[in-house]
Structure 1
Amino acid sequence: MATKKKADARPAAPGQNGATAVANGPADDETALNRELLRSMLLQRRFEERCAEAYAIGKIGGFCHLYIGQEAVSTGSLSLLRPDDYVITTYRDHGQALARGMTPRSVMAELFGRIDGCSRGKGGSMHIFDRNTNFLGGHGIVGGHVPIATGVGFAIKYRGGDQVIVCFMGESVVNTGAFHEALNMASLWKLPCVFLIENNRYGMGTALERASAIHDIHERGAAYNMHRDFCDGQDIFAVRKTVGEAIERARKEQLPTLIDVRTYRFMGHSMSDAVSGTYRTKAELDEYLKRDPIALLRAHMQDAGQITDDEVHALDDEIKAIVQDSWDFADASPEPPLEALYEDVYVDTTS
């Protein structure tokens, strides 16, 4: 039976690889877990900062959508998955790829359009894929990947497995037809899907309240008798709790869940968009910056005696070196040859 949870208003803003799956346990295990979570979020933040720099000097072409401010969503969710679970997402995908365990080298080389990129330089920023980590993209069409997620859920059930698929999307996706068709089928067929809305309030430059008749958008799941919930996306522990329950439901009961994870992007919609733009004020951005998910986790760990300032600085320096290495690797990687244009156009299924 579907659950219904009344949402309060959005939580007010007060005045080399990502995290691996680790179970909660005694104090030492909790400290180790939190350090991994912090490491994953810092890696995404420093990586994206360098991406902004690379885009500005022409190293990255095409579109580029940064994940800065939303790191608790990717890290909190993906730290709960097994290696054989699946992940699919939209075009704001760099942070999730790193959180899933893809190497910074392979992601940066893809952004640079180089042969050593995860998609051999053909996909770019919006099409990060890695079959080794079951990371199924990176999709540029708004909402186009949601039916694929339902299809993966169907395949899992058809094969008799107990994997789950986590499907990330922006809040504007809930107004597309593909979203509703996919959720209806996932609920009808009882598929192990976790549909996770990264609700950063603005679909490009349009506020949620101007685009959706329902502001508590997880309630869209009610139409399909689907479990639904919401959480504070700037609090990594809130994300882990809510998403963890959904993953367990999918794995044990093969039931889908729709989650409204309320987060905020600190950058523009893409690199072509000003940070504040004309659709949000600097004052609003400044208020949300006070709830930086990395700063919140760091403060929690310091209050609990789990990390010191010196250890944070050492970790940050280590991560900056990893990101610099990914830049150097991408810069040294050759561009794909012209004949690569004719590769992978068709798949030979007869052999």
Structure 2
Amino acid sequence: MTTKKTPAKSAAASKRRVTKPAIYDASNEELISFYRTMLLIRRFEEKAGQMYGMGLIGGFCHLYIGQEAVVVGIQSALKEGDSMITGYREHGHMLAAGCDAKSIMAELTGRSGGCSRGKGGSMHMFDPEKGFYGGHGIVGAQVSLGTGLAFAAKYRKTDNISVAYFGDGAANQGQVYESFNMARLWNLPVVYIIENNQYAMGTSVNRSSSEIELFRRGESFRIPGKQVDGMNVLAVRAAMDDAVKHCRDGNGPFILEMKTYRYRGHSMSDPAKYRSKEEVQKMRAEHDALEQVKKILLDSAIMDEAALKDMDKEVKALVADAASFAQECPEPDLSELYTDVLA
């Protein structure tokens, strides 16, 4: 009789212990702010999806629905002067950074009032005044640029840090590891955020990665990392506080793997047939980021149902106003083809 051997990856993973970060002790005002920003992102993305279906948004469109806790928790730990850079699923990142919803929606529709003057679209937004150095369409390309932003912060002798977001799919790109090496070699103040929504463009991380605990990807470069419940904004904030302190204290880079989940397909053209409806519903029912904070607000009597409904109405009105602005704003003049080519 032969016994079935446990796969090496599973055996190794079973021996590992993931240190769970503390839960951030948020004030009532912070809890309300976290909830409102996540709600704004959720309602904005729902509207963007609707407008895409109506043909008002062209090209690719990657929605952030389900992942709101990641960027809201991280952004709340930053200060003015810090920089952030991400991939092409960036509408939520811009909103969390305080960018104007009208300019974001106008960019989605390719209008002159957009944050990239209507020339970037969904994947290439930019607002350096808010510390947002762009969404980037090339998978993993932003990681090297985010490392460069950290180099600039150190070269200028500031205490600013850089935050570079990328996904579980981009975690297998070569330039990521070149960036890790330089960041650790030069002790750069950069926090690498791996938004592990578990499916990349449609392939489960379990099928595409030999090391599925992505926060360990920096170990050979001596970069510490943590895995975090990316559906819990308070866990995200607590972990980010630790990472920020690590960087500002001059200890070099840090990796945070956010275990999160997108409810929609990879992009609007993705039917997401690689996972079951039951799986998505289970995540929504048991782990939804907004519902977790909503429960705290209600259970602690910080807000009641009426106040929450009023907030939702206010946010929906703001998003509707942004959508109207985006449709009424003129398209860029042809002369804009020759501007913003080189800074």
Match of 1:295 in 2: 291
Question: Post-superposition shift, 1:302?
Answer: 1.2
TM-score (norm 1): 0.90
Q: Is the 8 A contact 2:61 2:268 kept in 1?
A: yes
Equivalent residue letter for 1:75: V
**TM-score, normalization: structure 2?**
0.92
Report what 1:344 is aligned to: 340
Count of aligned positions: 325
Structure 1 position 9, deviation (Å): 12
**Alignment match of 2:133 (pick from 108, 132, 136):** 136
The answer to whether the aligner puts 1:111 opposite 2:108 as a matched pair is: yes
**Residue 318 in 1 paired to residue 314 in 2?**
yes
Distance in 2, Cα, partners of 1:174 & 1:330: 34
Find the residue that maps to 1:136 and give its secondary structure.
Answer: strand
Could you say which residue in structure 1 is the equivalent of 2:99?
102
Mapped to 1, the partners of 2:184 and 2:91 lie a distance apart of 29
Which letter does structure 2 place at the counterpart of 1:313? K
Shift of 1:278: 2.3
The question of whether the paired residues in 2 share the 8 Å contact of 1:7 and 1:216 is answered with no
Q: Deviations over 1:116-166 (max 9, x none)?
A: 100000000001110110100100000011011111111111110000111
- Could you list the per-position Cα deviations for residues 237-269 of structure 1 after superposition, in whole angstroms to 9, with x for gaps in the alignment? 110011110011111224210111000000000
Distance change (3 Å), C-alpha of 1:136 and 1:346: closer
Q: Matched residues in 2 for 1:225 and 1:9: separation?
A: 17
- Alignment partner of 1:304 is 2:300: yes
**Is the CA contact (8 Å cut-off) linking 2:19 and 2:227 kept in structure 1?**
no
SS in 2 for 1:169: strand
Q: Aligned letter for 2:325?
A: F
- Displacement of 1:346 in angstroms is 3.6
- Does the 8 Å CA contact 1:196/1:259 hold for their aligned counterparts? yes
Cα distance in 1, alignment partners of residues 186 and 91 from structure 2: 31
Report the equivalent of 2:12: none
Deviation at 1:330, TM superposition (A): 1.0
Any conservation in 2 of the 1:7–1:230 contact (CA below 8 Å)? no
Query: Is 1:177 paired with 2:152?
Result: no
Distance 2:97 2:181 in 1: 27
C-alpha contact (below 8 Å) 2:19/2:226 kept by paired residues: no
Residue 283 of structure 1 is aligned with which of 275, 278, 284? 278
AA in 2 matched with 1:284: E
For structure 2, list consecutive stretches of 5 or more residues without a partner in the other structure. 1-14
Q: Shift of the alpha carbon at 1:233?
A: 0.5
Secondary structure, counterpart of 2:231 in structure 1: coil
Query: How far off its partner does 1:6 sit?
Result: 3.9
Verify the 8 A CA contact 1:156 1:163 in the aligned structure 2: yes
> Is the 1:110–1:121 contact (alpha carbons within 8 Å) kept by the matching residues of 2?
yes
Identity of aligned residues (%): 43
Q: Give the match's secondary structure for 1:198.
A: strand
**Contact 1:90 / 1:139 at 8 angstroms: preserved in 2?**
yes
Secondary structure at 2:77's aligned position in 1? coil
Instruction: Summarize the alignment of residues 261-276 of structure 1 with structure 2, pairs less than 5 Å apart.
Output: 261-274=258-271
Asked if 1:233 is matched to 2:233, the reply is: no
Deviation at 1:227, TM superposition (A): 1.2
Equivalent-residue separation in structure 2 for 1:78 and 1:346 (angstroms)? 29
2:273 corresponds to which letter in structure 1?
T
Give the match for residue 61 of structure 1: 58
Unaligned 5+ runs, structure 1: 11-23
Matches within 5 A, 1:243-262: 243-262=240-259
Q: CA RMSD in A?
A: 1.6
Is the Cα contact below 8 Å between 1:166 and 1:196 reproduced in 2?
A: yes
